[in-house]
Amino acid sequence: MKYILNFLFLLFCSFSISAQTDTYNGWIDKSAKFIENNRLDSAAVALQKAMRLDPANENNAVLLLNLGILQRQLRQTDDAYISFTASLGNNPDPVLVLHNRASLLCDLGRFDEAMEDY
């Protein structure tokens, strides 16, 4: 009986964790935990899943900036450029986005484009 109760408890806990992950904020929290554990590729996927759940969320511009930073660290430069550019639309701090995109462009040797962002 004790084993059955323990099993049911673990099953319940796993369902509650899964339910939390399947929300916009749950995926963002999961992304932060992945970053803490240096699992940047998983963190990027978690941010993408959050944005897919709520594409109209006003916080997506900030998530796109963070996604671009992760992609740059993962050397996914084309994806990082796209994420930074998409983040510009509604970002509350476009200067930060432009700085990150310009820095990426410098890494790619595209100095004229980088100067436009600086």
Give the residue extent of every domain in the chain. 2-117
List pLDDT tens digits, range 95-117: 999 999 999 999 999 999 999 99
List pLDDT tens digits, range 12-38: 444 444 445 689 999 999 999 999 999
CATH 1.25.40.10 fits domain 2-117: yes
Count of alpha carbons within 13 angstroms of residue 21, beta-carbon side: 14
- Token match 């899964």: residue? 18
pTM: 0.80
